[in-house]
Amino acid sequence: MEEVVEGQSGGRRARGGGGAARRAERTAVKQEFTRFITRNIPNFDVLTEEALQIIEHNAETVLEEIGVNFVENPAALQRWRDVGADVQGERVRIPRGLARKLCATAPAQFTQHARNPERNVEIGGKNLVLAPVYGPPFVRTASGGRRYATIADFRNFVKLGQMSKWVHHSGGTVCEPTDVAVNKRHLDMLHAHMTLSDKPYMGSVTERSRCVDSVEMSKILFGADFVDQNTVMTSLVNINSPLTFDPIMMDALEVYAAANQACIISPFIVGGAMAPVSVAGTLTQVLAEVLAGVAYSQMIRPGAPVIFGAFVTSIDMNSGAPTFGTPEAAQITLGAGQLARRLGLPYRSAGAFCGSKLPDAQAAYETANSLNIGLLSGVNFMLHACGWLEGGLVSSYEKYVMDADQLGILHRLAAGIDMSENGQGMDAIREVGPGGHYLGCAHTQANFKSAFWKTDLLDYKPFETWEEEGARDTVALAARRVEKMLGDYQPPALDPAVGEALAEYVAKKKAAEPDAFM
Amino acid sequence: MEEVVEGQSGGRRARGGGGAARRAERTAVKQEFTRFITRNIPNFDVLTEEALQIIEHNAETVLEEIGVNFVENPAALQRWRDVGADVQGERVRIPRGLARKLCATAPAQFTQHARNPERNVEIGGKNLVLAPVYGPPFVRTASGGRRYATIADFRNFVKLGQMSKWVHHSGGTVCEPTDVAVNKRHLDMLHAHMTLSDKPYMGSVTERSRCVDSVEMSKILFGADFVDQNTVMTSLVNINSPLTFDPIMMDALEVYAAANQACIISPFIVGGAMAPVSVAGTLTQVLAEVLAGVAYSQMIRPGAPVIFGAFVTSIDMNSGAPTFGTPEAAQITLGAGQLARRLGLPYRSAGAFCGSKLPDAQAAYETANSLNIGLLSGVNFMLHACGWLEGGLVSSYEKYVMDADQLGILHRLAAGIDMSENGQGMDAIREVGPGGHYLGCAHTQANFKSAFWKTDLLDYKPFETWEEEGARDTVALAARRVEKMLGDYQPPALDPAVGEALAEYVAKKKAAEPDAFM
């Protein structure tokens, strides 16, 4: 069973404007949180041993015969030469077996620390850590429609993450705060994660100096010694598929690996565009890319924590649009999980993926397909686990809470089936007998509170009641929940000196250079 | 890969009213159909060997110590006495191992014949046959809302089933035609399945004489000799859980088993009400009930085809409403699949289950959760695979086509990953190389048409196009598709003499007794 702890993560602040009833309601608010998932169920292995060996063999062939490009990065090319790769121009051909051998120093599991130690997460092994959507330039709300995201939206999404009991991680770019200069928005984003949430977070990857800022701000939050000795960030390093490592992303990997901070090394693939149109071909390329990327991380610092990433969608051959929740994406997610486990690395994939423009049935079918497969694929770190809409262009307020509610289902499924004497329930069957009912029996009375996963959102009311209450659909219910969660939100306690130091760092860095919007 | 065959199942009829363009469009209509699924992937086993043994042991304890009731059925009680059960009143206590031994004569797999032999289905083994929703007294349409179902609705749903390429079975009570007398509606329902569809169908179970009518009408359709020697119906026999076999359902089982027609023997369980509030307890009761029911079927006629059924939902402890797409239902569905396979029986469970009143995101999350788990549970016959809404109270036109589209995903997932040389795609990776793209490469050109599952419904258009076209949600897209499918529908060819004989049978039976609405 998952552990849901009702706790209070910060001091309650008096706020103006509410009446007595409203204050009383707010005082009763409890901020629940749940430990990351530790699976007590098997993974679903779709590839046979023979298929796995073929893909692994082919991936080594890709690395050896075709190679990968490390672009505008002479130091990287020298590192590859030093370990025995064949480097011609920017092309790095890696002898069979070398990359896998270099990967061996990467840990199979690591702890990412949060400023609240109760929120620390273990990434790898049988664990599954859920983090919100990453990257959308737009937001959508039920009342306001679709518009560019702002830093105010960003802070709202961080607050929703802090308030969501099944979400273990505050994430990174929960939306792009487009009203803040490109060269400064990472400061505001990090500041929001560090002050509005006490869950673990991700660092900036969009420029070397921003990675350094991420490390420096983390040192203010955790203490410099602590950051030197512990992993406090997991950041997203995308591979420019096919087979290309671009300089900005390698900068990020280099800064973070050197600082012993974790990176997700993640091919970003729309199948049929950035990888072969076939599942096995895509898996081959994913494996080759991850082998090269992880190997490179271990050249920077052996033992640096990294995650085998796989962001995969298929493509709609009519429109060229990426598609989500498809069977091909599911097969790749499942297969890549097997490859990651054989490589002994934590695995990142899946998410609340959908292509729909609205948080409607299409969005939910696509999302549920991906979430379910993510659980069964052995994913250890699920980015985009809530809030994703429209192919990742939009962070949806309503879908955030809709998805976050569904994440509770993954916790329950992962817990497996209780086979204790109480779980077997033989006393109940004996007590009730043929033709009876279980509602009042002793076993039901003793267990009903925790027996079933409970939604915080969905409607189970009788038709007539539901109709009288306005015949609300899921989006309407979610809009109400968003409003309540943001209203109930209270910031977690933070040492005022740390708060001041963070604010000072942000102000100083912002003042040091002019705004840039490119 | 699944086989999709574009075919024409009947003669095209000229219809009045359309212009030349409309006629031309109609002439171009192709009615696609797809063979039932044969899994090329493993099942997902959530229970350990030890857990399975505990549940099997406990189920035998239930049968031996608690027993089951066969209500108002002296002949059944005598049959149980004859095989060595301990019968006291209506309570039948079955010695440990006896029921399982009696089940051994039931076939592990059987063919259900359709009047079009291309639509025959194999039930059992690695196969999965998908059938539509069963039983709702209401229908819902996007334009008209929720209302009582009529025989016109019934015929429409049969037509949608005939037109749906991923739906293998015409089903049974796709909605309750409440405008037809209770004692006659089975005649109209059977007539619709037999004439408007050429897919396999289900028989009536609501009264002994209606089962006999189902057999008699099937003899008209297939020929009496054929029906004597082959299974042409699969019908739904619910167990009145807990542990009770009511006389009407046993009538149906007796008629069909004697005629070598198939029955799903299916505990109908809302967990916490009709079974223990725990998963393992529910699985124990399900197994005990199915063991008793299948054993009884084999006393009627050894070798009669039967299916291990499990209809399971959990309950919302606040409202008492059944809930769908929950983790507990998933665990039961997975576990019961393992129990069915160990018993060597075909397995029926899962479906497009949801509690939502609307075909909205809630409905789709719940449905997708259940469909995915159904595939991985090894389900062989999935009733309610499309169209189910509001806990089974409503057949939804729009949700029918939404779900039916999702069923294509199950086909693809079940096909597994193509590991042929073409599937491996090494030529593509070689051709494209680092930094290229795959859209135009030879491998993509050769494979793109069949590489990915294609939706017939969902929207993948760019935001701007989608907005210009009216920003339609899934329900709006589905409403348009329903209209098109019903407009395009053409009845499959039927020998006119058979058609006349069926109509005559229905007319004669209807004239023979007054309408009854109870």
Q: How far apart are CA A73 and CA A90, in angstroms?
A: 8
Across the interface, which of B146, B318, B443 has its CB nearest the CB of A276?
A: B443
Percentage above 70 pLDDT, chain B: 94
Confidence (pLDDT) at B10: 39
Task: Read off φ and ψ for residue A297, nearest 5 degrees.
Answer: -60, -35
CA-to-CA dists, residue A481 to A363, A484, B499, angstroms: 19, 5, 56
Chain-chain contact of B358 with A473 (C-beta, under 8 angstroms): yes
Q: With beta carbons less than 8 A apart as the criterion, state whether A413 and B279 touch.
A: no
Chain-chain contact of A279 with B443 (C-beta, under 8 angstroms): no
Query: Is the omega angle on the peptide bond into residue A242 within 30 degrees of 0, that is, cis?
Result: yes
Identify which of A326, A241, A55 has the alpha carbon closest to the alpha carbon of residue B423.
A55
Residue A363: list chain B partners with CB under 8 A: 361, 364
Q: With beta carbons less than 8 A apart as the criterion, state whether B102 and B115 touch.
A: no
Q: With beta carbons less than 8 A apart as the criterion, state whether B368 and B406 touch.
A: yes
Residue B447: list chain A partners with CB under 8 A: 277-278
Residue A139: list chain B partners with CB under 8 A: none
Q: How far apart are CA A179 and CA A177, in angstroms?
A: 6
Q: With beta carbons less than 8 A apart as the criterion, state whether B390 and B357 touch.
A: yes
Q: With beta carbons less than 8 A apart as the criterion, state whether B320 and A446 touch.
A: no
Q: How far apart are CA B213 and CA B208, in angstroms?
A: 9
- How many CB atoms neighbour CB A497 within 10 A? 9
Search chain A and give the residue with CA nearest B403.
A365
Chain-chain contact of B47 with A417 (C-beta, under 8 angstroms): yes
CA-to-CA dists, residue A19 to A488, B156, B400, angstroms: 14, 55, 48
Per DSSP, B118 falls in state G
Chain-chain contact of B428 with A362 (C-beta, under 8 angstroms): no
Per DSSP, A100 falls in state H
Residue A435: list chain B partners with CB under 8 A: 69, 240, 242-244
Q: With beta carbons less than 8 A apart as the criterion, state whether B71 and B45 touch.
A: no
DSSP, collapsed to helix, strand or coil, labels residue B364 as helix
Q: Which residues of chain A have pLDDT under 50?
A: 1-18, 21-28
Residue B436: list chain A partners with CB under 8 A: 242
Chain-chain contact of B424 with A243 (C-beta, under 8 angstroms): no
Helix and strand counts by DSSP (H, E) for chain B = 19, 21
Confidence (pLDDT) at A420: 98
A26 burial class (0-12, 13-18, 19+ CB within 10 angstroms)? middle
Per DSSP, B275 falls in state B
DSSP, collapsed to helix, strand or coil, labels residue B395 as strand
Confidence (pLDDT) at B32: 84
Q: Kind of pairing, strands B138-141 and B394-396? A: parallel
Percentage above 70 pLDDT, chain A: 94
Confidence (pLDDT) at B277: 95
Residue A62: list chain B partners with CB under 8 A: 426, 429
With vertex at residue A393, the alpha carbon angle to CA A481 and CA B411, rounded to the nearest 5 degrees, is 90
Residue pLDDT, tens place only, B293-332: 999 999 999 999 999 999 988 888 888 899 999 999 999 9
Q: With beta carbons less than 8 A apart as the criterion, state whether A298 and A343 touch.
A: no
A497–chain B nearest CA distance, Å: 45
Confidence (pLDDT) at A31: 73
Whether A440 and chain B come into contact, CB under 8 Å, resolves to no
Window B:144-173, CB contacts with A under 8 Å: 146
DSSP, collapsed to helix, strand or coil, labels residue B70 as strand
Across the interface, which of B357, B443, B460 has its CB nearest the CB of A316?
A: B460
Q: How far apart are CA B518 and CA B503, in angstroms?
A: 24
Residue A345 CA from chain centroid, whole number: 16
Q: How far apart are CA B158 and CA A50, in angstroms?
A: 44
Q: With beta carbons less than 8 A apart as the criterion, state whether A94 and A176 touch.
A: no
Search chain B and give the residue with CA nearest A357.
B463
Query: What is the 3-state composition of chain A as percent helix, strand, coil, each rounded to the nearest 5?
Result: 45, 15, 40
Whether B421 and chain A come into contact, CB under 8 Å, resolves to no
CA-to-CA dists, residue A279 to A7, A284, B44, B426, angstroms: 45, 9, 21, 12
Task: Read off φ and ψ for residue A154, nearest 5 degrees.
Answer: -55, -50
Q: Which residues pair with A312 in a beta bridge?
A: A269
Which of A458, A467, A469 is best to mutate for the B interface (most B CBs within 10 A)? A458
- Print burial letters for A65-97: b (CB count within 10 Å at least 16), e (below 16): ebbbbbbebeebbebbeebebebeebbbbbeee
- How many CB atoms neighbour CB A53 within 10 A? 12
Whether A430 and chain B come into contact, CB under 8 Å, resolves to yes
Q: A202 is written with which tokens?
A: 């991700």
CA-to-CA dists, residue B357 to A86, A286, A314, A431, B404, angstroms: 62, 42, 32, 35, 19
Q: How far apart are CA B210 and CA A5, in angstroms?
A: 56
B51–chain A nearest CA distance, Å: 7
Q: B190 is written with which tokens?
A: 């059977």
A211–chain B nearest CA distance, Å: 25
Residue bearing tokens 């050896």: A64
Q: How far apart are CA A95 and CA A78, in angstroms?
A: 16
Across the interface, which of B416, B417, B428 has its CB nearest the CB of A276?
A: B428
Across the interface, which of B243, B369, B438 has its CB nearest the CB of A272?
A: B438
A79–chain B nearest CA distance, Å: 19
Q: How far apart are CA B474 and CA A357, in angstroms?
A: 10
Q: How far apart are CA B335 and CA A407, in angstroms?
A: 22
Q: How far apart are CA A179 and CA B343, in angstroms?
A: 63
Q: How far apart are CA B186 and CA A502, in angstroms?
A: 74
Identify which of B427, B421, B454 has the alpha carbon closest to the alpha carbon of residue A66.
B427
Confidence (pLDDT) at A30: 61
Chain-chain contact of A272 with B451 (C-beta, under 8 angstroms): yes
Window B:480-499, CB contacts with A under 8 Å: none
Q: How far apart are CA B404 and CA B391, in angstroms?
A: 18
Residue A461: list chain B partners with CB under 8 A: 319, 321
Q: With beta carbons less than 8 A apart as the criterion, state whether A250 and A207 touch.
A: no
Q: B320 is written with which tokens?
A: 């008492």
Q: A458 is written with which tokens?
A: 């969905």
Confidence (pLDDT) at A107: 98
Chain-chain contact of B426 with A61 (C-beta, under 8 angstroms): yes
Search chain A and give the residue with CA nearest B473.
A360
Whether A392 and chain B come into contact, CB under 8 Å, resolves to no
User: Euclidean distance between the first and final Cα of chain B, in Å?
Assistant: 48
Mean pLDDT of chain A: 94
Chain-chain contact of A284 with B426 (C-beta, under 8 angstroms): yes
Whether B448 and chain A come into contact, CB under 8 Å, resolves to yes
Confidence (pLDDT) at B11: 36
Query: Is the omega angle on the peptide bond into residue A42 within 30 degrees of 0, that is, cis?
Result: no
DSSP, collapsed to helix, strand or coil, labels residue B514 as coil
Q: Which residues pair with B171 in a beta bridge?
A: B201
Tell me the count of A-B CB pairs closer than 8 A.
397
Whether A413 and chain B come into contact, CB under 8 Å, resolves to yes
With vertex at residue B37, the alpha carbon angle to CA B35 and CA B40, rounded to the nearest 5 degrees, is 130
Q: B386 is written with which tokens?
A: 């499309």
To 10 degrees, the CA torsion angle through A392, A372, A313, B425? Answer: 170
Q: How far apart are CA A426 and CA A446, in angstroms?
A: 14
Q: For every one of its 518 residues, what pLDDT tens digit does chain B have, with 9 covering 90 and above?
A: 344 444 444 333 333 344 554 444 444 456 788 999 999 999 999 999 999 999 999 999 999 999 999 999 999 999 999 999 999 999 999 999 999 999 999 999 999 999 999 999 999 999 999 999 999 999 999 999 999 999 999 999 999 999 999 999 999 999 999 999 999 999 999 999 999 999 999 999 999 999 999 999 999 999 999 999 999 999 999 999 999 999 999 999 999 999 999 999 999 999 899 999 999 999 999 999 999 999 999 999 999 999 999 998 888 888 889 999 999 999 999 999 999 999 999 999 999 999 999 999 999 999 999 999 999 999 999 999 999 999 999 999 999 999 999 999 999 999 999 999 999 999 999 999 999 999 999 999 999 999 999 999 999 999 999 999 999 999 999 999 999 999 999 999 999 999 999 999 999 999 999 999 87
Window A:307-366, CB contacts with B under 8 Å: 314-321, 323, 325-328, 330-331, 335, 355-366
Q: With beta carbons less than 8 A apart as the criterion, state whether A403 and A364 touch.
A: no
With vertex at residue A59, the alpha carbon angle to CA A203 and CA B415, rounded to the nearest 5 degrees, is 95
Which of A140, A426, A430, A431 is best to mutate for the B interface (most B CBs within 10 A)? A426
Mean pLDDT of chain B: 94
DSSP, collapsed to helix, strand or coil, labels residue A334 as helix
Residue B240: list chain A partners with CB under 8 A: 435
Identify which of A470, A467, A325 has the alpha carbon closest to the alpha carbon of residue B413.
A325
Residue pLDDT, tens place only, B173-224: 999 999 999 999 999 999 999 999 999 999 999 999 999 999 999 999 999 9
For A179-233, the three-class secondary structure string (H helix, E strand, C coil) is CCCCCCHHHHHHHHHHHHCCCCECCCCCCHHHHHHHHHHHHHHHCHHHHHHCECE
A2–chain B nearest CA distance, Å: 13
